[in-house]
Amino acid sequence: MKNSFANQCIRCTVESCKYHNGERDYCSLDSISVGTHEIQPTESRCVDCESFEAKIQG
């Protein structure tokens, strides 16, 4: 599924997310939630997009 809206304030390269624009590297949501799975994150890989939902293939 391609989302026609591309929020140019939220860059995203995760093509497996259902909110990825599909044509450009932007999110199609108006806003996202960002969180962490670490007590005190020290690197970018410790931070997560909590708005992620897997794209359903089919």
pLDDT at 1 over 70: no
Domain boundaries, the chain: 7-49
pTM above 0.85, yes or no: no
The answer to whether 12 touches 48, Cβ cutoff 8 Å, is no
13-29 confidence digits (pLDDT tens) = 999 999 999 889 999 99
Across the chain, the runs of DSSP E, i.e. the strands, are: 7-11, 26-27, 34-36, 47-49
